[in-house]
Amino acid sequence: MSIELVTSLLASTVEFSTPILLAALGEVITERSGVMNLGIEGIMLIGAFCGFWGALTTGNPWFGILIALIAGALVGVLKAFFSITLKANQVIAGLAIWILGIGLSTYLSRTVLGITPGTVMIPGLEKAPIPLFSNIPFIGKIFFDHNVLVYLTLLLVPVLHFILFKTTIGLKIRAVGENPRVADTLGVNVFLTRYLCTIIGAALMGAAGSYLTLGRLFTWVEEVTAGRGWLALAIVFFSKRYPFKALLGAWLFGAAYALQYHLQAMNIGIPYQFLLMLPYIVTIITLLGIIGREEAPAALGIPYSREEPG
């Protein structure tokens, strides 16, 4: 295997991992506060469509990302209202968001815009090689020759780690996720903290979806996420809600996607249906490896009420 092929494979790994990583980081924030959001796939779909619509309308892909962030945040408000205010079952609420995302994105593309999927191209995010760094042999092509959203996603990993584990804000978030009653007694606003984390997390999921239409395809395809939201959820379990471990998990899944496409291009004789299964096979193996070793926040998925005894 030539060095050029290895470089291309690893660079593709970083690109393919970006939307999965961004969505996973959004779920890390959410779950650290004690709220579980199984609607990642649906929120990504809504973000993907809104990103496409924003870029199509304005000709500016960054406006599309902004619309996707806002759309994701609005869905996050809905999820928070059901899970935190109404204290609905968080698993059911998340699945409802997933179904909503599929139906709403399909309805809007067919009825409101009236377009045939894959036929309308939009201006997407262009590559922005980082001067000097992109010229470094081997490493430059892998890490420093992508669009800006890739860089921002990678930068978010250490930033989120610092916030969660090195700041008072992060301490409050983790306290709310572990023992909301004690946090409430100490003056932490449990409801506000969970609301904000759920909304911010959903906004990142929306942006993750927009990457698929603005950073990869430059068009709209129904159910474009193709299960990536569920892969992001698997990464959250795999990482035990640590941002740097989520990065490693995302690269693992990104490598599966990159290998799938490279093997298809090489025409090695393996049926493409088997290659399409690669990311999901990796998911199954990963989940089998963490069975019995899951370390979730103690109050994850449990609604909090001041009236109920601890």
Q: What is the pLDDT of residues 133-180, one digit of tens each?
A: 999 999 999 999 999 999 999 999 999 999 999 999 999 999 999 999
Mean pLDDT of 277-301: 78
> What pLDDT, on the 0 to 100 scale, is given for residue 308?
62
With tokens 């000709």, the residue in question is: 59
pLDDT of residue 218: 94
Q: Mind listing the pLDDT tens digit for each residue in 203-242?
A: 999 999 999 999 999 999 999 999 999 999 999 998 999 9
Domain boundaries, the chain: 19-127+143-237
**Cα(228)–Cα(17) distance, integer angstroms:** 10
Contact 244, 10 (CB under 8 A): no
Using CB atoms within 10 A of its CB, is residue 4 exposed (0-12), middle (13-18) or buried (19+)? exposed
What is the model's pTM? 0.93
> What is the rounded average pLDDT for all residues in the chain?
91
pLDDT score, position 262: 77
Identify the pLDDT of residue 309.
55
Cβ atoms 203, 26 nearer than 8 A: yes
Tell me how far the alpha carbon of residue 15 is from its chain's centroid.
Answer: 13
| CA nearest neighbour of 199 among 29, 48, 46 | 29
Q: Supply angle C-alpha 153, 158, 162, rounded to 5.
A: 135
Q: Is 310 helix (H, G, I), strand (E, B) or coil?
A: coil
Place of tokens 């159910």: 223
Contact predicate 224/68, CB 8 Å: no
Burial 56-85 (b: 16+ CB within 10 A, else e): beeeebbebbbbbbebbbbbbebbbebbbe
